[in-house]
Each structure stands twice: as structure tokens, then as C-alpha cells.
A and B are shown apart, each in its own frame.
Chain A
Amino acid sequence: MNRYVIVGTGVAGVSAAQAIRATDPAAEITLVSEDPHGFYSRPGLAYYLSGEIPDKQLWLYAKEDWQRLNVRFVAGRATRLLPGEHRLELGPAGALTYDRLLLAVGAKAVRLPVPGADLDGVAYLDTFEDARRLVALARRARSAVVVGGGITSLELTEGLAARKVRVHYLLRGDRYWPAVLDETESRLVEHRLVEDGVHLHYNTELVEVLGRRGRVAAIRTEKGEIIPCDLLAVAIGTRARLELAQQAGLETQRGILVNEQMASSVPDVFAAGDCAQVFDPLTGQWVMETLWNPARWQGYAAGLNMTGYETKYHHRPSFNVTRLAGLTVTIIGSLGGSRDDDLLTIARGESEAWRFGLEGVTLYQTADVNRLRLVVGQKTLLGALVMGDQTLSIPLQELITDQTDITPIREQLLRADVPLDKLIFNFWQATHPRQRGDQHG
């Protein structure tokens, strides 16, 4: 009987367990996690914070699902991996031996590197415990400061604002999320934030957190300004949890390097999800992503390979749909971006690949809060951003993911004598008739 150990109970770990169970019904599968809340929708935490769903909605697996999966849970922290002995130490909880092991340990929010950052009332958004703490803090907070960038910083800003907390959002530069958005898009988001009552502070750097009796009372900026607050929410990026991997001698960069089988550089040790760094054929680079669906696919591929059923994980063009200040935004492929001082790494819900600038021509179309940005390559679309009206979200996801040859419309696209959206939509219908064409008519 094969013994599989999976470290982490996020979507990558659970998907791996699913794949193993489907392929090896007799397998002994052990899931190790230090998160007492097990498997829940991590991206859903934002909607719990905003009050759109109650906490219990976050758990997607029912008792019967766990029975079917038939796994053993070990609560505890994996302290040391000994690949030569096929052994995982768990500190006081003992040790486990394995035939194949998966590291699906995820990523952790980067801590704020300023004095006072350890005060009570400084919060991050990694786990359900963090989200619950934020909700409790928001209940008695009158005003909050948010620092950071990307999707998570806005989830924090909007979630706190929805809970009637007065929010000061500090930006180190002169606009929001320059790593991915262009200036027009940043401004669209910022205007909406201001309309929602958020106080935006541009060119403002937090240098110290000031406390009273061990609790956050205010923050001080580089310019000497003091902003009183009861809560400081931080989203300056995430880093893969690499301690176990590095100590065990696995090859790592920003994440654990894995091949297309999701295998690490050390025999019988695999990695998947936010802690893994995978090869992206579109950009030719090894990328980090903190995205739910790729984590699920990676976990599944890892699980199959762990049982000996060889399969390749094909990295697809990086994709996410999110809401920024109430505007739905689809981001696909590579867009190229500017320097972003608000983020030390990527935040949650992001891909490094979005920031890569590939050789292409960028086209735009804007109307009111609706914006379309396309990066047009020689033969394919390389990236797209759809803000507001989402009619083109699925069409562009499919055209970019499928690497559809755009030669028939490329010249017309660049000439721009026909509205971009119409051209793309008609081309998608013509090239993807089976997927969705049947619902229009």
C-alpha cells in the first residue's frame, strides 16, 4: 500500500488527494496542516469580510466528501523534511514516513517592515483566522489605514468600508496598482473608491505604527503626518512558504521549482499551488501565481504523477476575474506594467506573468467606466484587460488561452477603423462556434 503525505489543506492539497484517491483506491493519504480550519475558499475570505456571505459558506466540502476522499488528518506543523529517509517530522506531533510527498504549503503575507508592526490591530489577510480577526477588529474600529497594492489591498479597503469603517488608503506612488493597470484604469478605480468614501493618500509612505497600551492608535508617514486609526490592514505582497523545502535541499527561487510533472528537484517530493514556481511557455519564464484555479489544476496533476500516472501540467495564460472598487475586471496573459512601490511581491489573486511585457502592440478602447486593453502579438493576442462591461471576458479568455491565430483580423485590429470590441466578439464567434456560439442569435 502506498503512503502519500500532503502538507497543506488548501485547494492544491485537497485536489492532489482527490487525484490520488481516484487513481489508487487503496492508498493511505495523510493531510498535514497547521490551519485548524482545514479546507475553505481562500479567495472567498474577501466576501466574508465585506459581509456578502456568512463564514460557514466558505467551506465547500461536506462530510460525505471527506468520507469519499478517505484521508487522515494530522493537525500540526511540519518542522523538518528528510527526503533521504522519506520522513517528515512534525515536532511534538511525531513524524510520518511516506512514499511520495506533496508540499502544498501556500504563501504567507509579507510582514510590514516598520517599527510598531507587531502592535495589536495590525492585520493581514492570509487565512480564515485572519479574516475573522479583521471582522472582530472592524466591529470596534472607527477608522482604519490600509497599505499595499494589488487585489488584496482593495479587498481590505472595500471590506472595511462595507463595515462602516472610515478607510484611509495609502499609496506610495501616484496611482493604484501600476504593476498591472495603466493610468486610465488606475484612475477609474480610484474615482470609484473616492465615491465610496475612501480617503486616498497619494505619495504617502508609512514609516511607523504608533500604539497606545499595545494597540494601534495611529500611523506616521514619511512627511510626518499622523493619521489616527484603530486598525492597520497590510497587503504588501506574499511569499511562498519555503522553509521546509530549502532546509530539505529542494531547488527554489521565489518558489519551489517544479517540472511539468510538478516534481521538485528531489526524488518523491512534489510541490503545487502558491508555493510552487512553474514554467510558463507563453513568456518563457518561471512564474509565481497565487490563483485558486491554477492551484487546483497543479494539485490534481501532482496527485496523478505521485501515483505514477504520468501527466503534464500545462500552464495556461494567467487569468483572473476580480472586482476592483465595484468594477469587474478580467486580466489575462501578459500586459506589462510599471514600477509598483506598494508591493514587494505579488499579492493574492495575482500572477507574475501579468507584469511581463512581451513584444506586442497595445490597443485601447474606453467608454465611461468600461475599458478594454489588448496586447496584440504577431500571430496571437498576448494579453487583455477587460474592465466594467464583461461581454468580452470569456471571448478573450478563450482566444488567448487557445492561442487562436488572429491573422485574419490583425491588420483590421491595428487599423482600428472598426470598434475593437465588435471585431473581437465577431472573431471569437467565428472561431469558437461550439463553445458558446449557440446561445447567441
Chain B
Amino acid sequence: MGKSDSFPKVASRQEVLAAGHIVPAEGRCIQCGICSFNCPIGIDVRRHAWLGEPVVEAHCLTCGECVRRCPRGVLHFEQLKIFGGSS
């Protein structure tokens, strides 16, 4: 298989730290709650996934713990378009 570095670059964690959030992909979550259980500041990430809403919470550290732990590839970083248009 072509190495994954042959893919176009995905926004790095540093890039989303300032202006990013966690987004659940539709139809993947099975509500196991691993994400909420592992969130260091206790955000109920699973609830966001149930409602299909991004984790837009001021306290979210975007530490990526939920993204890494999710066994179903539900959660992803996405950059907020704070200046409008594509980033």
C-alpha cells in the first residue's frame, strides 16, 4: 500500500489547537462511551456524537484523547473557519 505520507497533509494537532474542534462522523458511533470516559476534563463527547454535533466547548483542550481512543473512527479534528472561507 502506498505509505500514508503519500496522502495530502491532514491538519496537524498544532494547527487545530488554536482554532479547532472535534467532529463526529455520521453513522459510526455505537455509544460505548470510551471517549467520555477518557476525556481529561470530563466533557461528555459521546453525547455530542449521539446528537451529531461537533464538540464546541470552551473547555475542550483538543488534546485528542477521545480521537485516539475511539475504536470506531468516529471522531476527527476539524479546523474552525474563524475568518470565513476555506482555510
Contacts and interface: CB of A to CB of B under 8 A. Distances in A.
A350 to B, nearest CB: 13
A279 to B, nearest CB: 19
A41 B31 contact: yes
Contact of A370 (B1, B25, B32, B36): B1
Contacts of B77: 439
B73 A321 contact: yes
Interface in B1-58: 1-4, 6-11, 25, 27-34, 36-37, 46-47, 50
Contacts of B2: 365, 367, 419-422
Interface stretch (A194-202, A267-275, A281-289, A385-393): A385-393
Interface of A is mostly: mixed
Question: Which has the most chain A C-beta neighbours within 10 Å: B1, B3, B31, B46?
Answer: B1
Given A54-B37, A60-B33, A440-B9, A389 B28 contact: no
Interface residues of B, number: 34
> How many of chain A's residues touch chain B, expressed as a range?
35 or more
Question: Which has the most chain A C-beta neighbours within 10 Å: B2, B4, B10, B50?
Answer: B2
Interface in B61-87: 71-73, 76-79, 81, 86-87
B4 A389 contact: yes
Contact of B3 (A293, A366, A367, A394): A367
Contacts of A397: 25, 27
Contacts of A421: 1-2, 6-7
A57 B78 contact: no
Interface string A411-426: 0000000011110011
Contacts of A365: 1-2
Given A43-B30, A54-B37, A58-B33, A328 B86 contact: no
Interface of A: 11, 41, 43-44, 46-47, 52-54, 57-58, 60, 292-293, 316, 319, 321-323, 328, 330, 365-368, 370-372, 389-391, 393-394, 397, 419-422, 425-426, 429, 436, 438-441
Interface of B: 1-4, 6-11, 25, 27-34, 36-37, 46-47, 50, 71-73, 76-79, 81, 86-87
Listed from nearest, the 6 A-B pairs whose CB atoms lie closest are A44-B32, A419-B2, A367-B1, A43-B30, A57-B33, A41-B31
Given A57-B37, A421-B2, 17 more contacts: A41-B31, A53-B34, A60-B46, A60-B47, A293-B29, A321-B73, A322-B71, A328-B71, A367-B2, A394-B73, A394-B76, A419-B1, A421-B7, A425-B7, A438-B78, A440-B11, A441-B86
